[in-house]
């Protein structure tokens, strides 16, 4: 009888470099985000018109606003499950969810993530965090408004995380729609904050979507694009 050698599998989010960066990012968020956001809301309230997405990003430049750790684990699991060749993230911030997705791609040995962020300082921080986690080669970071940076994607998209400003989920989805592969999965974070018109679209079978709300983390919507209209 021959005995197969057992080689250890990837450590996933428990990889020491990955878990160290994630622990630091969550600790920073717990320490800082509430105060930064209180200041941002107070400042926005003083303005005669609501801030534009870029102005809101500047007000929140020091807040990391990471995905809930449960969503992070779901993103890693979906990444391993779906083995996406092409994944997209709207809203990089300091790179918490970017790291969770990129770890899955690295452990699969296949796939690339494109993540986009409006604030230049956050792109720099995310780049440094990805490097520290050893995940730079799995990710392309794009600086700019997702409505521009995600237009004209060259290849079919298999997995999408929407986690930028909530009023932009629908315009960003509309930009991504032509690139979605049938069976693509879309994760929309912060379900309680999402506009009704977005939810109507993403739950509309006639528009090609099958969707489920999940009480996970801060509340998410898990959706697949079937590619079949009508």
Ligand X SMILES: C[S@@+](CC[C@H](N)C(=O)[O-])C[C@H]1O[C@@H](n2cnc3c(N)ncnc32)[C@H](O)[C@@H]1O
Piece of the chain touching ligand X by CB under 6 A; list 13-21, 118-126, 193-201, 218-226: 118-126
Cα separation, 111 vs 102, in Å, equals 9
> In the complex, what is the shortest distance from the CB of residue 70 to ligand X, in angstroms, rounded to a whole number?
12
Alpha-carbon dihedral angle through residues 46, 28, 139, 149, given to the nearest 10 degrees: 0
Piece of the chain touching ligand X by CB under 6 A; list 6-14, 80-88, 89-97, 199-207: 89-97
| Residue 213 burial (10 A CB sphere; 0-12, 13-18, 19+) | middle
CB atoms within 10 A of CB 201: 18
> In the complex, what is the shortest distance from the CB of residue 165 to ligand X, in angstroms, rounded to a whole number?
4
Alpha-carbon dihedral angle through residues 135, 137, 139, 145, given to the nearest 10 degrees: 120
Given a contact cutoff of 8 angstroms between Cβ atoms, the answer to whether 221 and 204 are in contact is no
CA-based angle 139:163:28, to the nearest 5?
80
Piece of the chain touching ligand X by CB under 6 A; list 38-46, 114-122, 178-186, 216-224: 114-122
> What residue number has its CB nearest to ligand X?
91
> In the complex, what is the shortest distance from the CB of residue 118 to ligand X, in angstroms, rounded to a whole number?
4
Residue number, 67 or 103, with CB nearest to ligand X = 67
Member of 79, 102, 105, 122 binding ligand X (CB under 6 A): 122
Residue list 15-54, contact with ligand X (CB under 6 A): 53
Residue number, 51 or 208, with CB nearest to ligand X = 51
User: Residue 24 carries which DSSP code?
Assistant: H
Helical spans, DSSP H, in 7-161: 16-46, 53-59, 69-82, 96-108, 120-133, 146-149
221 binds ligand X (CB under 6 A): no
What is the C-alpha radius of gyration for the chain, rounded to an integer number of angstroms?
Answer: 18
Residue number, 106 or 122, with CB nearest to ligand X = 122
Residue list 55-84, contact with ligand X (CB under 6 A): 57, 64-67
138 binds ligand X (CB under 6 A): no
CA 18 to centroid of chain Cα atoms: 17
- What would the x/- binding string for ligand X be over residues 158 to 197, using CB under 6 A? -----xxx--x-----------------------------
> In the complex, what is the shortest distance from the CB of residue 32 to ligand X, in angstroms, rounded to a whole number?
13
Q: Site residues (CB under 6 A) for ligand X?
A: 53, 57, 64-67, 91, 93-94, 96-97, 116-119, 122, 145-146, 163-165, 168
């Amino acid at each position: 009888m021959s005995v197969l050698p057992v080689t250890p599998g990837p450590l996933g989010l428990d990889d020491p470099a990955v878990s160290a960066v994630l622990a630091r990012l969550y600790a920073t968020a717990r320490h800082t985000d509430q105060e930064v956001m209180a200041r941002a809301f107070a400042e926005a309230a003083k303005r005669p018109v609501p801030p534009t997405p870029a102005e809101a990003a500047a007000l929140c430049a020091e807040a990391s606003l990471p995905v809930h750790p449960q969503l992070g684990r779901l993103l890693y699991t979906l990444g391993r499950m779906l083995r996406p060749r092409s994944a997209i993230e709207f809203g990089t911030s300091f790179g918490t969810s970017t790291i969770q997705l990129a770890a899955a791609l690295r452990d699969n040995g296949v796939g690339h993530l494109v993540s986009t962020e409006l604030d230049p300082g956050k792109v720099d921080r995310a780049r440094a965090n990805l490097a520290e986690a050893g995940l730079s080669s799995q990710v392309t970071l794009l600086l700019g408004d997702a409505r521009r940076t995600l237009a004209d994607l060259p290849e079919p998209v298999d997995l999408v995380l929407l986690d930028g400003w909530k009023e932009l989920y629908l315009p960003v989805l509309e930009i991504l729609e032509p690139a979605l592969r049938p069976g693509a999965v879309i994760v929309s974070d912060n379900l309680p904050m999402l506009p009704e018109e977005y939810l109507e679209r993403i739950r509309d079978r006639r528009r090609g979507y099958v969707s489920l709300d999940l009480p996970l983390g801060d509340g998410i919507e898990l959706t697949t694009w079937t590619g079949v209209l009508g």
